Amino acid sequence: MSILVNKNSKILVQGFTGTEGTFHATQMIEYGSNVVGGVTPNKGGTTHLDKPVFNTVSDAVKTTGANVSIIFVPPAFAADAIMEAAEAGIALVVCITEGIPVQDMVKVKNYLLGKNTRLIGPNCPGVITAEECKVGIMPGFVFKKGKIGIVSKSGTLTYEASDQVAKAGLGVSTAVGIGGDPIIGTTTKEAVELLMNDPETEGIVMIGEIGGSMEADAAKWIKENGTKPVVGFIAGQTAPPGRRMGHAGAIIGGADDTAAAKMKIMAECGIHVVQSPADIGATMAKVLKK
C-alpha cells in the first residue's frame, strides 16, 4: 500500500520534450516509474526517450490508459494544462510549474470542483512512494522505503525529513510535497488524512511554514481524528511580518500566521513539535517506541 502513486501508476509527462520535462522524465524512468508517454502539441506521432509523444492528453489517455500526469509547462500555459488533464479523466495531476498567476489558479480550483481529479501543487517537488514510483523532481536516492509518511510545503525540507527518518531506521512510505503557492490543489489536512488511512504508514511528519491556516486546520483534524503519531515542524520562525519568504504563500498576514502561533496550535492538538528539522527523525523514533 501507499498513497497517490505506486509501481502500477501509468504516468504521462506534459511538456515532455522541453528541457525540464526531458531531464526529470529521464530521472523518473531511471527510478523505475512507469512513464507511458508524454504530451507536446504538434509533436504527436513522434517518440521521445523511447516513449510515444501525443498532441493532447485525451489522445494519450485513449492510447496508454494513463491515470497520472506530471506537468512541466511554462507558467502562462500551466493552468490550461491542468484543466486539460482533468478533462481527459486523469485521476492525479502533479504540477511542478512555479509562478502560475493566482487568478489562473482560482479558475483551476473552480474547474476541478466536482471532477474526479486530485491536484498536487503547483510549485511543488511532487510525490514519491519510496523505491517504487517517483512523480516529481526530488532526488530519489534520499528516500528509503519504510513506514513514515511525509507532508510538506517545502521541497528541500521534504528531502531533509526523509534523510532524518532513514537515519533513524524508519524510512518513508510516501512523501507528498504539496507546494508553497497561495492556492494549491491538495491541502496539508487532505494529505495527512490520506496517510492516516494508509495501513502501511505508522507515523506522519508534517512540515509547514508561515502564512495561511493549513497547518492549523490539519492540526485540529488530527486532534479529532488522528490515529497515528505526528511530528511537526514549521519553517520561518525568524521571518519578519509582511515579507514573503521564498514561497508566494509564505507571508505573515496576521498573528495566527506566525511560526510560533502555528507551533502552539499544533502542540495543543497533540502533535510532537520540533524546533529544528534536525530533530525530526530522532523524535519520530522516540514517539513510535512509546
Q: Is 212 left (phi over 0), alpha (psi -120 to 50) or beta?
A: left
Neighbours of 200 (CB within 10 A): 15
Q: Are 33 and 9 in contact (CB under 8 A)?
A: yes
Which grid coordinates belong to 114?
466536482
Find the catalytic residue in 24, 48, 247, 272. 247
- CA-closest candidate to residue 217, choices 190, 185, 252: 190
Could you identify the residue written with the cell 497533540?
270
Q: Are 3 and 172 in contact (CB under 8 A)?
A: no
- Among this protein's residues, is 247 annotated catalytic? yes
DSSP codes of every residue in 166-188 = HHTT--EEEEEE--SSSS-SS-H
Q: Are 176 and 206 in contact (CB under 8 A)?
A: no
- Please list, in sequence order, all residues whose beta carbon lies within 8 angstroms of the beta carbon of residue 181, skipping any fewer than 6 positions away: 100, 102, 105, 121, 122, 123, 247, 248, 249
**Pairing state between β 51-54 and 47-48:** antiparallel
Q: Known catalytic residues? A: 247
